[in-house]
Amino acid sequence: MIHMSIANTPKTATLDDAPLISGSLARAFGDDPMMRWFFPDAASREATLTRYFSTLFTRQYGLHGVCERTEASAAFWVPPEAQAKAVPDAETIQELMDILGDRAPLFRDAVGEAAQHTPQEPHWYLALIGADPAAQGQGHGAALLRSGLAKADAAGLPAYLESSKPENLPFYEHFGFAVREEVQLPGGGPVLWGMWREPHRPADAA
């Protein structure tokens, strides 16, 4: 059993947490194949990712999703009743396009392709989860994943996520996810694995 400390105990994220969350996620996704593809310049990647995740949190998921954090990690979930509202508005899209620069068309096409494979059944969507590499192995990501899955299970609903990092698949499989589909992103992008988890009864919990 992973020891739960104050540092890795999930708490509801507020917009005031944006600097902490965006910094943690920027470092967490620094070696993610999709983020490396969107932001190929290694020298500026962390700073650009910080802007990217801050925009997603403050303008999209922090307003319409279920966002939790620890001292070194964050997770953004979207329950089915919020999925229509969690779609970014035109101003948010423009801000993201400005951050992505000449990679914006690749981003647009990748998001469009992934959307075509999103399950239509009601589900809890794990949009993002990541832990600062300096704190990985300390139970931050697992604590956030358990917390979100408990909410999905309480609602009797499945959960869905996408990962472009094959090393992460066993971690999600440990929590009951299974690969549902492999999607090759257009424009020479990485493979995206869609993963699905049926709701668990309390006795089924890992």
Which tokens go with 193? 């694995």
Against a cut of 0.85, is the pTM above it? yes
- Residue 82, Cβ density class (10 Å: 0-12 exposed, 13-18 middle, ≥19 buried): middle
What does the DSSP 8-state code read for residue 184?
E
DSSP element (H, E) containing 197: strand 191-197
pLDDT at 202: 67
Q: 127, 114 in Cβ contact below 8 A?
A: no
Domains annotated on the chain, with CATH: 11-156 (3.40.630.30)
**Per-residue pLDDT reduced to its tens digit, 119-158:** 999 999 999 999 999 988 899 999 999 999 999 999 999 9
Closest of 75, 89, 182, 68 to residue 125, by C-alpha: 75
